[in-house]
Structure 1
């Protein structure tokens, strides 16, 4: 794409809502954002998903004349600006994540991509999104699209699903454990979790949520960005208590998930 295709500066609409990505703008029916070292792998993954008919991710359209990523714009409303999902919607969400993971299991990255995974997984099963939260799900009627794939990389199915559980169930401090457990069950049922995955999921949730808290604390200690900034903005005040809540009620989650 040429600079002429990018359009004038006045044609660029700054998109809000992200905590990590900088200078994300909309140009017509595309999104432009900085090219990162992870971008070659991310765009390859998105091309794989598109090739196999997955509709829950944006199309990757290469780079523009300024060297920025170009992605198809996903119209709609971010899920974090909508009412919490119903159990039926959580079931559907589980299926959407399962379809993503099954396609990712067949993905073969070109060469050795330089992934930028924020919280390291316990092992590498597939390439995961790693930030499946309501802030990254755009809903437009029946179409649901996960955005912001810059942090994709090797991980586990239950880690990715567990991170989604934190945001969508949600599993936050001050929740109602019995109700949250029922909603977690709907998400896992929609995914089609087998017995082993159901036993793994509670600890996977804990690993992801505690990992985010530790990342923020370490960022504050070392000055590493954007985690130091996010810590200063108070994000650790959410993730720490959320991790404690998830860990405290581990047996409740296990009981609810049992087949």
Structure 2
């Protein structure tokens, strides 16, 4: 029997027993190849791809566990472990060679390319499971940069938001980035990327609302003001983030 999944789930994604079924797109075969690679190199933080069902839907392993709070309320100690998890993911994807026919779904253009990224490393896609952290919803995966992905993940996981005191946000940012193990020379550049990456999300939602594209128009109505304010906050305090990461 098909069951609706909790949270802000993509339309058409359902659970059947210990599997998840989701509609396919031009990018699905490439995502399957990426997930197969992650499994082959021993990375346990992604669901296994199990092929197609009789309706042509992508079949994925269902990973039971608890999804994170979108507000970014992880304790500091867990932020360090999530940062380390993201570093493990990047080490695993660095050796992935996309198939010649690779097709990706590019929702927000990256700022360059140095490896394949997930592109939505956020609490709503992170499962606290019996086998450790597991990242779900890989449809938006594709080429990108460590810095662009790390900036988004740090903002969302650490909960760098306007209603949190700056000192607390700075400490949480430091915990996440220390967990990732980012080299000291790369930290000022990351601090400067936090605002632009949040603004790219804000612009995606604004365009979606303007053009009536879902789910971005709906998310803009719900969270558009949050993303604008967050981008403004991150841009206004780059020096504070640089100092926190020094």
Q: Which TM-score tier does this pair reach, normalised by the shorter chain?
A: over 0.9
Secondary structure at the aligned position of 2:219 is classed as helix
- CA displacement 1:183-222 (0-9 Å, x = unmatched): 1111111111012321221222222210010111111222
Aligned partners of 1:166 and 1:205 also within 8 Å: yes
Of residues 18, 23, 31 in structure 2, which corresponds to 1:29?
A: 18
- Secondary structure (helix, strand or coil) at the match of 2:222 reads coil
1:203 matched to 2:197: no
2:225 pairs with 1:248 = no
Give ranges in structure 2 of 5+ residues lacking alignment.
none
Q: Are 1:235 and 2:223 an aligned pair?
A: yes
TM superposition score normalised by structure 2? 0.95
What secondary structure sits across from 1:42 in the alignment?
A: helix
Alignment gaps of 5+ in structure 1: 1-10
TM-score for both structures, normalised by structure 1: 0.90
After superposition, give the CA deviation of every residue in 1:154-211 in whole Å (9 maximum; x if it has no partner).
1111211111111111111122111111111111111110123212212222222100
1:89-238 matches, cutoff 5 A:
89-141=78-130, 143-231=132-220, 233-238=221-226
| Counterpart for residue 43 of structure 2 | 54
1:3 matched residue in structure 2: none
- SS at 2:7 equivalent: coil
Residue number in structure 2 paired with 1:18: 8
Deviations 1:20-49 (A, max 9, x none): x21111111100010111111111111111
Whole-Å Cα distance in 2 between the matches of residues 33 and 96 of structure 1?
25
Moved >4 Å (runs of 4+): none
8 Å CA contact retained: 1:206, 1:246? yes
- Aligned pair 1:63/2:52, yes or no? yes
Deviation at 1:141, TM superposition (A): 4.5
Q: For 1:196 and 1:130, how far apart are their aligned partners in 2?
A: 23
Question: CA separation in 2, counterparts of 1:181 and 1:82?
Answer: 16
Superposed CA offset, 1:222-249 (max 9, x none) = 2223222322x32211111011111111
Query: What is the alpha-carbon distance in structure 2 between the residues aligned to residue 63 and residue 193 of structure 1?
Result: 38
Q: Report the RMSD for the aligned CA atoms in angstroms.
A: 1.6
Aligned pair count reads 246
Aligned-partner Cα distance in 2 for 1:81–1:129: 17
Whether contact under 8 Å (1:165, 1:184) holds in the other structure is yes
CA deviation after TM superposition for structure 1 residue 81, in Å:
7.3
For the 8 Å contact 2:72–2:123, the answer to whether it is kept is: no
Once residues 218 and 232 of structure 2 are traced to their aligned partners in structure 1, the CA distance between those partners, rounded to angstroms, is 23
Contact 1:117 1:130 in 2 (8 A): no
Task: Report if aligned partners of 2:117, 2:149 keep a CA contact under 8 Å in 1.
Answer: yes
Distance in 2 of aligned mates of 1:47 and 1:168 = 26
